[in-house]
């Protein structure tokens, strides 16, 4: 199994279709790891297990856990509505925290991933430069005055904007900025010492730059600094390592970040999305779930995709395997993730 996975990663590295780090754990113990590609192409700095990567939408699970912590402390509830934000917008006041968590709010997204190719993400910044996005409220002009696409609670429709609103609710309920709340209550609490929100303008050790391929193989690259906001948000963009992320996922499922009932809530799906063959995709609070025809959870976790960023974090409960893939190249983790999935299913979880 490990020889095959290693071969897959080395092949992807040779073809320049993957740059990043892969970590597998079984039973919480180190099982396999591999770092390939460059954290910095200009100076040929290699990626390592200690390299910190932008995680894109994987950040949503940090937001979801933060919301549930504040529900635990009675600062929020699943029925709390966006009315508490006092926004003069087209967002319906009756949209709830539960609907935002499960992408059933029906609000317009600022970038609809279901309809638009990720490469067009940079078009967002033609009128509002990406460097002007510094705080969560800076995102509001991109979506808040657009009419909803569906009535609240009607059906699943993935929404980055919904997680921006959750971040704003976290700020009101906690009295902290979203970033400081996550630093204190997620990263510090989980001993994620190499995780943070990092601006492109700042100089930090062991940070991978994001690259967009101009041509593959052996082609040219451009950095993603003009394509995505220079700082993270509650819908994506925190930086972390494979080790920190694996540790976070273990603490989450072991009930060390939330009380028992809320731990159970975040580790099960809540809304249906799509049936594909013998499997069904469902969504919970910040995470995707893949189930088989017996309704067993095959895996849960998140993808993260932005220009110059491609990541996956999955846990396979039937065989107790964590798979963490952090990449600093556009669209590089998805295909590799599915190939590793097929190996795991054939060798361990079938």
Q: Do 216 and 16 touch, CB atoms closer than 8 A?
A: yes
pTM of the model: 0.95
More confident residue, 293 or 309: 309
Measured CA to CA, the distance from residue 222 to residue 199 in angstroms comes to 18
- Dihedral of the CA atoms 137, 206, 58, 244 (nearest 10)? -120
Residue 40, classed as helix, strand or coil, is: strand
**Which residues does 272 contact at the CB level (< 8 Å), separation at least 6?**
156, 280, 281, 282
Give residue 117's pLDDT band: very low, low, confident or very high (50, 70, 90): low
From the CB of residue 100, how many other CB atoms can be counted at a distance below 10 Å?
A: 29
- H helical segments located in 254-292: 260-266
Quick check: bond before 217 cis, omega within 30? yes
Measured CA to CA, the distance from residue 131 to residue 230 in angstroms comes to 6
Predicted confidence (pLDDT) per residue in 305-334, tens digit: 999 999 999 999 999 999 999 999 999 999
Predicted confidence (pLDDT) per residue in 163-204, tens digit: 999 999 999 999 999 999 999 999 999 999 999 999 988 889
Measured CA to CA, the distance from residue 266 to residue 289 in angstroms comes to 11
Predicted confidence (pLDDT) per residue in 50-85, tens digit: 999 999 999 999 999 999 999 999 999 999 999 999
Number of domains in the chain: 1
CATH number, domain with residue 86: 3.40.710.10
User: What is the 8-class DSSP label of residue 335?
Assistant: H
Q: Is the dihedral of CA 87, 83, 137, 177 positive or negative?
A: positive
162, two tokens: 């919904």
Which residues span the domain enclosing 243? 2-349
More confident residue, 209 or 130: 209
Q: Do 24 and 321 touch, CB atoms closer than 8 A?
A: yes
Residue closest to 232 by CA, chosen among 251, 217, 210, 216:
210
Q: Do 178 and 234 touch, CB atoms closer than 8 A?
A: yes
From the CB of residue 165, how many other CB atoms can be counted at a distance below 10 Å?
A: 27
pLDDT at 116: 58
Residue closest to 63 by CA, chosen among 194, 162, 200:
162
């Amino acid at each position: 199994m490990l020889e095959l996975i290693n071969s897959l990663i080395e092949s992807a590295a040779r073809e320049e279709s993957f740059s990043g780090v892969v970590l597998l754990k079984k039973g919480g113990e180190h099982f396999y790891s591999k770092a390939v590609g460059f954290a910095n192409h200009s100076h040929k700095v290699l990626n390592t297990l200690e390299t910190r990567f932008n995680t894109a939408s994987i950040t949503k699970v940090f937001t979801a856990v933060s919301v549930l912590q504040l529900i635990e402390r009675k600062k929020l509830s699943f029925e709390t509505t966006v009315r508490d934000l006092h926004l003069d917008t087209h967002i319906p006041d009756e949209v709830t925290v539960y609907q935002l968590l499960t992408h059933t709010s029906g609000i317009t997204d600022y970038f609809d991933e279901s309809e638009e190719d990720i490469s067009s993400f940079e078009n967002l910044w033609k009128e509002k430069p990406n460097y002007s996005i510094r705080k969560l409220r800076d995102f509001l002009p991109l979506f808040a005055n657009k009419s909803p696409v569906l009535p609240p609670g009607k059906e699943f429709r993935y929404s980055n904007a919904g997680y921006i609103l959750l971040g704003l609710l976290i700020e009101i309920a906690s009295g902290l900025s979203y970033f400081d709340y996550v630093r204190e209550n997620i990263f510090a609490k989980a001993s994620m010492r190499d995780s943070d929100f990092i601006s492109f303008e700042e100089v930090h050790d062991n940070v991978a730059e994001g690259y967009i391929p101009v041509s593959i193989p052996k082609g040219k690259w451009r950095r993603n600094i003009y394509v995505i906001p220079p700082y993270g948000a509650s819908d994506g963009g925190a930086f972390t390592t494979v080790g920190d992320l694996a540790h976070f996922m273990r603490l989450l499922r072991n009930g060390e970040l939330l009380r028992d009932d809320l731990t159970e809530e975040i580790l099960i799906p809540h809304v249906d999305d799509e049936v594909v063959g013998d499997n069904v995709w469902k969504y919970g609070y910040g995470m995707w779930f893949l189930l088989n025809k017996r309704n067993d959870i095959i895996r849960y976790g998140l993808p993260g995709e932005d220009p110059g960023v491609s990541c996956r974090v999955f846990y396979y409960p039937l065989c107790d395997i964590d798979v963490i893939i952090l990449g600093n190249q556009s669209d590089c983790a998805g295909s590799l993730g599915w190939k590793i999935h097929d190996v795991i299913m054939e060798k361990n979880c079938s």
